[in-house]
Each structure stands twice: as structure tokens, then as C-alpha cells.
Chains A and B, each alone.
Chain A
Amino acid sequence: MNGWLDVGALVKVLVFGIVAGAGLPALFAVGVRTQAVGAGTVEGQHLADDRRPMMTAVSYVCFALVAAAVVVGVLFVARDFIGHHTGWYVLGAEEK
């Protein structure tokens, strides 16, 4: 572009921002929902006789994925520090 603004990078921020920033809470919401369905507490279900263990399992998968994403986020923040002190360069960190 004309040097005032890196439009390509801007689009990347927007796209990845939507995937991570909106996608993760949405995934977490799916976890909350499947957990509720699993426990039989969603509208239209009757308690106790309507438990669905499969849905409970799905909810744990969702929560685990979100947790994994947060761990990756923290590593991303700390990647230069980790690389500098351990020599273990992760997530695109570069030796300086």
C-alpha cells in the first residue's frame, strides 16, 4: 500500500482476531451448552431421566480446547523469554 497503513497485516489481525477472539468464547459457550444438555437441565428436558453422558464428554473436549488455546496464548506472550533463557524457541520466536 502507500505506506500509511499495512492493509495486509490489518486483514490478518481482523481474520485471526475473529477466529481466536470470537471463536474461543463461542467454543466455550458450546461447552457450557453441551454440559447443560448432558446434565439434562436445558429447556424441554426433564431432570434425571434425560442425562446424556456423550454430551458431557463433548463439553469437556470443548473446555480442554479453550484451555489449550489459552496455554498457547501465554506461550506466545512468553516465547522470547522462554527462548532467551532455555534455548527452546517456540511459536516463531527467533534467537536474537
Chain B
Amino acid sequence: MNESLIILILVVATALAFDFTNGFHDTGNAMATSIATGALGPKTAVTLSACLNLVGAFLSTAVAATIAKGLVDAELVSLEIVFAGLVGGITWNLLTWLLGIPSSSSHALIGGVIGAMLAAVGSSGVEWKGVVSNVVLPAVLSPVIAGLVATLGTYSVYRATRGVTEERTERGFRIGQIGSASLVSLAHGTNDAQKTMGIIFLALISYGSVSADETLPPIWVIASCAAAIALGTYLGGWRIIRTLGKGLVEIKSPQGMAAESSSAAIILLASHFGFSLSTTHVATGSILGSGLGKPGAEVRWKVALRMVTAWVVTLPAAALVGATAYGITAGIGGLAGVIVVFVAMIGVAFAIWLRSRIDAVSHHNVNEEWDDERSSRRPAAVGAES
């Protein structure tokens, strides 16, 4: 077994690990409001979402245009840069999960790759115009548009059902929510699993085991990416689900259905018209909108502000980790460098997981009352403030 094959295997493993974090980071985008309104039990919701993500991943036939396309100089991308970028994305995904903040997995990955590219080649390796028009502008616009659509939807839903008993309305919309949440899950699997497939495909091409003319990645790539994202989704990012479902808005099932319909419509339309956007930004904007559209509903702007701050920080922070990872990888050099960073990443992941056990959020307590005072991801019942 030669050195470059081992590096390839480590890169593929890291890519699948990223896919896994992508899954559990984003479960809430589709399922948070269904869980909060009781339309689906927490376990049922994540199981359904995992299955649909799995199916969605298999539905994508074209190789995803690599996430790096138009953002960095494709000629200069090496296995080490991809690897360091993935490490940056994973680390930032885990940190934001610990804080219960729904931040964009795509931004984390893009940030990591850009950071690694900056460390490797310098500013000339990054296509800044592409970054602004493909990443920054959509990130600013998509939550606003999704929020607007969800506001309109929620408002008209409440207008139309005025005078109908709340019990009847809740029951009807809970059924509707199952459909809308399923559609978001399916769209998520189709979009996000492709990103990892694209990365592994790239790695295989650069290793030489797959021809660049192939239009479809090998079936094991599709299967393993589908499995990784589904497994992550099934695990459920309960902290993030809690923030989205309970923290932002006290949500009722008509709002939930309006929010999810808006998310599904915007995600599908945007990918059809060639906008790359983050499902997280869309889902968050939609949920905010469902709070604005319901007469008398309260939106917790403090929580929203925390999220927006995290969104702004995501690109540079992941870039910083990506650049550092590249620095160490290249500094040590060769296989040893990759192994050192790989082991370090596992260590960091384990430390974050240990920290998360202190104030664990699970399917048991995900729907506990939100505590405004501490703006906490942690249910009040669990224990004292840290």
C-alpha cells in the first residue's frame, strides 16, 4: 500500500465524516418545527428525515459541480487542500452544534477550502468575485426571501382559518406538516449529499482511479455518502433542533407548515435557477417569517441575532481552521502531516462530544420550555448554569 493511497483513504474518510456532521447539523432544517408542534414524535421525525435523506442522495445522478467550482482556482486544488478544508468544515460544524446554533454546513466547508487555499497559494488562488456572488449574496438574500414567503403564507393561513376551532386547525395542519417537512428532507438529501460526492469524486480523479470523463461517481461513493448523511440525520442534532423549534419562535402547526412550505419551495426553485444556497439559511428565515406572519406571535430577536452573528463568523472561522490544518499538514509534509491532522481532528471532535455530555439535549428534553434568561440551548430541568 503506497503513501498516496493511504492519503486518499484518509481524505475519503474525512469527507464522509463531514457528510455525517452535515446530516445531524441540518436535521432541524426540515424537522425542528414538526417536532416542536408535536406533528411528529422526535424519534419518528428523525427516522423519517433520515430515510428521505437517504433516498434523496440516491436521486442525484449528475455529479455535483464541486463546491469549490468558481470559488477557488480549480487547477491548484490538491488533495491536501481538500483535506484541510474538510477539517475546517467539520470543526466549525461541531463547535456550532455544541452551541446549538444552526449555521450553514456548506459555508463551513467553503470557508475551510478557501482558508486552506489561502494558506497554500495565497490570495491569487481564490476567486473573490465568485465568493461574493455565489456565497455572500445568496446568504444575505435567501433568508430574507424565505422569511417573506413564510410571513405571507402564515398570515394568509391565519386569515383563512379565522373562526375555526384551534383544535381543528392544529390537527389539520399537523398532517400537512408531515408532507411539507418530508419534502424539505428529500430536497436536503439531494442537494447536500451531492457536495460530499463531488469532493470524493474529485479526490478519486486526482488519484487517478476514476476518469475525469465519468459523469457518475462509482456506486460505492453514492451509497456511502447517502449512508453517512442519513446516519447523521438519524442521530439528530437535538441542540440545533431545539434552537430552531423552540428558541426562535413559539411555533404552532399552521406556522410550521407555512415555514416548511416556504423552505421547500425556495430550496427547490433556487437550485433549479442555479443559485447555490444554504438550506440552513432558508429554513431559519422561514421560521422567523412564520413568527412575523402570525398576529400576536413573539420572535426572540436575541436568539436570531446570535444566529446571524454565527453566520457571519462561519466563513472566516472555518477558513482559519482550514488554513491552520493546511499549515500543519504541509509543514510536517506527506503522509505524516495528514495523519497528524487527522488524529488531531478526532481529538477535537472527542473533546467537543465530551463537553456536550454536560448539558446533553436529546429526544427526551428537546421540547422543554425555552429559558429566555439564559437564552439557553439547555432545558432548565437539566441542571445549574455552568
Question: How many residues from B make CB contacts under 8 Å with A?
Answer: 56
Residues of chain B within 8 A of A73, CB atoms compared? 183, 264, 268
| In the bound complex, CA of A36 to CA of B164 (Å) | 7
With an 8 A cutoff between CB atoms, is B275 at the interface? yes
Q: How large is the interface on A (under 10, 10 to 19, 20 to 34, 35 or more residues)?
A: 35 or more
Q: Of all chain B residues, which has the CB nearest A19?
A: B265
Given A9-B274, A43-B163, A73-B183, CB of A21 within 8 Å of CB of B150: yes
B152-197 contacts to A, CB under 8 A, are 152-154, 156-161, 163-165, 168-169, 172-173, 176, 179-180, 183, 186-187, 190
With an 8 A cutoff between CB atoms, is B348 at the interface? no
Interface digits, A11-46 against B, CB 8 Å rule (1 contact, 0 not)? 011101110111111101111110110000111100
| In the bound complex, CA of A56 to CA of B83 (Å) | 59
Residues of chain B within 8 A of A18, CB atoms compared? 148-149, 152
CB–CB B145/A17 < 8 A: yes
Chain A min CB distance to B174 (Å)? 11
Residues of chain A within 8 A of B150, CB atoms compared? 21-22
Residues of chain A within 8 A of B266, CB atoms compared? 13, 17, 21
Question: 21 A–B contact pairs at CB < 8 A?
Answer: A9-B274, A13-B275, A17-B146, A17-B269, A18-B149, A21-B266, A25-B154, A25-B180, A26-B157, A28-B157, A28-B172, A29-B159, A32-B164, A32-B168, A32-B173, A36-B168, A66-B179, A70-B179, A74-B183, A84-B61, A96-B62
Extra inter-chain contacts (8) besides given A22-B153, A70-B179, A80-B60, CB under 8 Å? A6-B274, A12-B273, A17-B262, A17-B265, A22-B156, A22-B258, A33-B163, A80-B61
Chain A interface (Cβ < 8 Å from any Cβ of B): 3-6, 9-10, 12-14, 16-18, 20-26, 28-33, 35-36, 41-44, 66-67, 70, 73-74, 76-78, 80-81, 84, 96
Chain B interface (Cβ < 8 Å from any Cβ of A): 56, 58-62, 129, 132-133, 137, 141, 145-146, 148-150, 152-154, 156-161, 163-165, 168-169, 172-173, 176, 179-180, 183, 186-187, 190, 215, 254, 257-258, 261-266, 268-270, 272-275
